[in-house]
A and B are shown apart, each in its own frame.
Chain A
Amino acid sequence: MMKTVLRAEKISKDFNVGDAAVHALKDVSFEVYEGEIVVILGPSGSGKSTLLNILGGIETASGGDLEYEGKSLDWGDEKSLTEYRRRHVGFVFQFYNLLPGLTVLENVELAAGLTPDPFDAEKLVKEVGLSDRADHFPAKLSGGEQQRVAIARALCKNPDVLLCDEPTGALDSRTSVQVLELLWNFNRNYKKTLLIITHNAKIAEIADRVFFMRDGMLERIESHDRPKAPGEVDWS
């Protein structure tokens, strides 16, 4: 029996745009298990980013319940949400969001300083292939390199769940594969849960399960018995 890390129960999210109410998420329910890769796939406006933000504790749901390791998240308690983000969740953003005033190593060390049991920052920088650029500032790195730093930063916290928002959205195909390989290796080597949102259907091939989103609803879930490694996917 696989351990449930996240359990969403009828999650909904409404936004008010002027007088009109937009239902970004409608009664979305699912479970995410320890150590699996979940790709959330869907067109623009399907609600996948909103869902990821709710899972990451940076957005509150309008309704429903989200449990992390069997405990409900208290949307009203900003302190506990910060603690949740700090201890259990790692983020990788489409536009990297590195701190420009810190070097590669320091960006990673910053995250390491937030948890009691972080990974070794230098080792992670080496793992993402940037040990020779450890003392460079983000402005001197290419997009792919910046994303690798962002991944190292996210991993360094030793999070239970890594949430990736279009991690390859701003990268060329070759660099995208390198980035996905990093994420895949992390998942396989450390048995950490990985959630990736993307509109690129090819990425779904590396997932254990794929959540298809449409119009704010979870349309279907597809399981892969034998997910591919990024290198095995035909990206052409």
Chain B
Amino acid sequence: MKLFTRNTFRMAKKNKGSFLGAVFVIAIGIFVFVAMLDTLQNLKGQVDSYYEKNGLADIFAEVSGISAVQLDALEELPGIKKASGRLTKDVRILAEGQTEMASVHLLSAGDGEEEADSLNRMTRTTTKNTSGTQDMIWLGKRMIDACGYEPGDTLRLLINGVSHEFILAGSVSTPDSIYSIPSGGAMVPDGETYDIACIEKKRMEELTGSGAMLTELGFLLEPGYTYEDIRGSLSDALRQYGLISLTGREDQASYDMVSGEVDQLISMGTILPVMFLSISVFMLYVVLKKMVDRDQSLIGTMKAFGLTDRELMASYLMLGAAAGVFGSLIGGVLAIPFGKYMFDMYVEFFNLPDTVYHNYIGTRIGGTALAAATGIGAVYLGVRDILKINPAQAMRQRTPDLKRTGKLPDLFERHLKLPAKMAFRSLLRNPFRACLIALAVGFPFSMASVLFSFRSVADQMYFDQFDKIQTFDFELTLDRYESPVRAAESGLLLDGVEDAEAVYSGAVQLQNENRTEFAMLYGLNINSSMWKIMDIYRTVFTPPAGSVILNERIAKKLHIKRGDQIRISIPGVTVRETTVPVADIIAESVGSGCYMELASMGDTFGIPVPANAVLLKTAAGSRETVKQKIMETNRVTGLVDTGKIVKSYQEMMGSMMMMVDLFAVLAVAAGGVLIYNISMINIRERVTEFGTLKVLGQTEKEIGLMMLLEHMVSFFAGIFIGFPGSFGLKVLVEKIIVSDSYTIDLIVKPPAYIEAFVICLGIAALAFLAEMKFVRTISLTEVLKERE
């Protein structure tokens, strides 16, 4: 038994290229598996513990103002275990040498005891203490890093039009602002323009003039209760305090983004390794099946000697296990730097505090077990025919398959020359062989075409938003409501501004029956040249008068369809709900807004002057001048700079795309190994055939032509298979990358197919050249000794 195993391993050495190929692909699979899961465990583990440690709330609400006593009273509501809140305000931040108009979401920090007892507790790191006369500010780490602020720097906050000086004392983070973006505008955090900040509660109350009021609330639920259970009662209770928004934890912007990323990591960490491991299963299956076919008489002899099926199979299964374990060791080691790189990327992306990267041994054990199981499973599929081998039969020459002659239809054959006839018949006589090549081509083609399309999808998501939808350069948020005409006119007064339009942009409460959602409402001009409503299929919609166009994701949550009536209220602006019809429901790449015509908002909601923002288009070369002017005015409370958003998106996508490109390279490499190995396995089977042709006097060119024809048929069959494969993969990716914040329509465009085709063609050509080299080295004398 031991000796038979030794023989099996020695024979496998003759096929070492194929085994190393399988090991390589297993290594890729395990590399992705370990790297993804390590990142996931690190990210999820540390985020969860941060949530836990800092008391992330179950429900989030924003109100115009509620006192601490009134808030405490809400704990009496059934299902509410704890309620806490803080005073917040979005204000502009000013600093020496500032180049961007930045704002901060300013939070009030209670005293130690109060803070320790609150929900969404902030973590403050104080590195600079000041004298008692100076006000201190703690700033989000993203902004500190992006702007290069140092503890002790003087920062100014523009609160209610008055500038106040603060000394930077350190950094602050809260569990509900891991992913910190302003409402409306940017989708990617940008520390240069937005982050959170906190100052002492008393001082904030004085400066904002809000008194002892709280505006941002968090609620913890009693065990057994869900957000849906108490939404109605809580919403009713908060209405009197000017409810602006109410969301469950799942829909809270930061939590949603983080959990969306974690879910994607889980999906990617499952699907990608499965894909790569499937290739290795395929490859090992083919190698072992051919090996057992070749060893049939040997296996028959061993059976005749008395070896059991189990003993014989065990020898081959050990080969599979060895390939799996070896592959997992390589993959596990390679995953260390990559997992760390990915984790660091997420830490930066989410601005996570106090993180440590761990290499989990469990992931590696899991990966090794998975790889060994993959290897054993693949080998089992390949060698299960051992069970069918009858010793006496196995030692005889195999009976040819009389049915499979490979004869083509006469009409077709008549037009073919002999080499073409031989090529086609060879394909028909051994369709399994042809299928193997086709599958080997189909896989990298599908995977590469989808991965190459990813870049354009990401571009479509973000660049389209600012290239085709929001084509303005700046969106200024005004400190008060204005008439659209006046707002636009004041925009045009700025030197360098080519065009200006007034818009409404604000949070609204949407209701359908007993369902409520908070979303952004955008009031746009009917002929707006700077903000179009466009869906992912690039259909442009006109903002409707007296009705709304709803984002598909919100419509789904509200269970509302086109033509239904929807109740809308604008917190802090309208006193009553307004019912309007839903004109259309659209799927958007990013954002989740609803739209209506600005001019109709006055009549619809009873707001006489509905504009609260101005869009500006600058003349060529005057962008920076205009920006500087905007920064100098104190009537502007917020600035959306589309150029800056695109830039920060590009920076973020740079690292993301590196990952996608890496997977594309890995897929192509795995595909290359697959095509090469299957080609070489096939050619080795046909040594006698090609040797005979050479002995008969056929030139390598003639043999090559025949092989080329066979290859071309298999190759194009593979490309043909690759198209549905690509579609399946596209659907899968679309399902993985779905979020509340964006929807993608992954269109695999012709250039991606062409790129994938060229790569596969290149690999197939290399494999063909290797085959030809092999044909050149066939020993004719050895061939002639062999039985067919």
Contact = CB atoms under 8 A, between A and B. Distances in A.
Interface string B694-716: 11111100000000000000000
B180 interface: no
A114 B698 CA distance: 7
Nearest to A59: B781
Residue among A85, A98, A139, A165 with the highest chain B CB neighbour number at 10 A: A139
B780 A82 contact: no
A143 to B, nearest CB: 10
Given A101-B422, A102-B422, A139-B405, A91 B781 contact: no
B405 A97 contact: no
A100 B426 CA distance: 8
Given A91-B695, A113-B418, A97 B400 contact: no
A93 B689 contact: no
Contacts of B689: 99-100
A224 B57 CA distance: 110
Interface string A19-58: 0000000000000000000000000000001100100101
B30 to A, nearest CB: 39
A139 B418 contact: no
Residue among A49, A86, A110, A140 with the highest chain B CB neighbour number at 10 A: A110
B242 interface: no
Contacts of B787: 95
Nearest to A93: B784
A91 B406 contact: no
Contact of B784 (A97, A101, A103, A138): A97
Nearest to B788: A95
Contacts of A111: 696
B406 A106 contact: no
A101 B696 contact: no
A148 interface: no
B786 interface: yes
- Measured as residues with beta carbon below 8 angstroms from the partner, the interface class of chain A is 35 or more
Interface string A129-150: 0000000011110000000000
Contact of B425 (A56, A95, A101, A140): A101
Contacts of A110: 418, 422, 696
A56 B695 contact: yes
Given A97-B692, A102-B422, A114 B786 contact: no
Given A58-B780, A100-B429, A139-B405, A86 B697 contact: yes
Interface in B662-698: 688-689, 691-698
B699 to A, nearest CB: 6
Interface in A79-98: 82-83, 85-87, 89, 91, 93-98
Contacts of B786: 95
A109 interface: yes
B401 interface: yes
Interface in B413-441: 418, 421-422, 425-426, 429
B3 interface: no
A107 B198 CA distance: 89
A15 B421 CA distance: 39
Contacts of B781: 49-50, 53, 58-59
A174 B658 CA distance: 73
A82 B405 contact: no
A109 B406 CA distance: 18
A106 B695 contact: no
Contacts of A82: 694, 697-699
A87 B698 CA distance: 11
Given A106-B418, A110-B418, A140-B402, A85 B788 contact: no
B713 to A, nearest CB: 14
B407 interface: yes
A140 B781 CA distance: 27
B780 A59 contact: yes
Nearest to A101: B425
A157 interface: yes
A94 B781 CA distance: 12
B408 to A, nearest CB: 10
A157 B697 contact: yes
A153 B697 CA distance: 12
A99 B426 CA distance: 10
B297 to A, nearest CB: 15
Interface string B379-404: 00000000000000000000011100
B577 to A, nearest CB: 79
B679 to A, nearest CB: 18
Interface in B231-247: none
A46 to B, nearest CB: 15
Contacts of A137: 405-407
A105 to B, nearest CB: 11
A139 B397 CA distance: 12
B418 A85 contact: no
A179 B422 CA distance: 27
A85 B697 contact: yes
A107 to B, nearest CB: 10
B421 A106 contact: yes
Residue among B406, B426, B697, B699 with the highest chain A CB neighbour number at 10 A: B697
A102 B692 CA distance: 13
A81 B78 CA distance: 97
Given A53-B781, A113-B418, A165-B784, A99 B697 contact: no
B708 to A, nearest CB: 16
A157 B698 CA distance: 12
Contact of A102 (B425, B688, B788): B425
Given A59-B780, A102-B425, A114 B402 contact: no
Contacts of A86: 696-699
Contacts of B695: 56, 58, 85, 91, 97
A106 B426 CA distance: 14
Nearest to B689: A99
Interface in B496-549: none
A97 B418 contact: no
Contacts of A96: 788
Contacts of A139: 400-402, 405
A16 to B, nearest CB: 14
A165 B785 CA distance: 10
Nearest to B784: A93
Contacts of B422: 99, 101-102, 110
Contacts of B780: 53, 58-59
A14 to B, nearest CB: 14
Given A98-B788, A110-B696, 15 more contacts: A50-B781, A59-B781, A82-B698, A85-B694, A91-B695, A95-B787, A97-B784, A97-B788, A101-B422, A101-B426, A102-B422, A114-B698, A138-B400, A140-B400, A153-B696
6 contacts: A82-B697, A85-B694, A95-B788, A97-B691, A100-B429, A103-B407
5 closest cross-chain pairs (CB), A and B? A86-B697, A139-B400, A101-B425, A58-B780, A97-B692
Interface of A: 49-50, 53, 56, 58-59, 82-83, 85-87, 89, 91, 93-103, 106, 109-111, 113-114, 137-140, 153, 157, 165
Interface of B: 400-402, 405-407, 418, 421-422, 425-426, 429, 688-689, 691-699, 780-781, 784-788
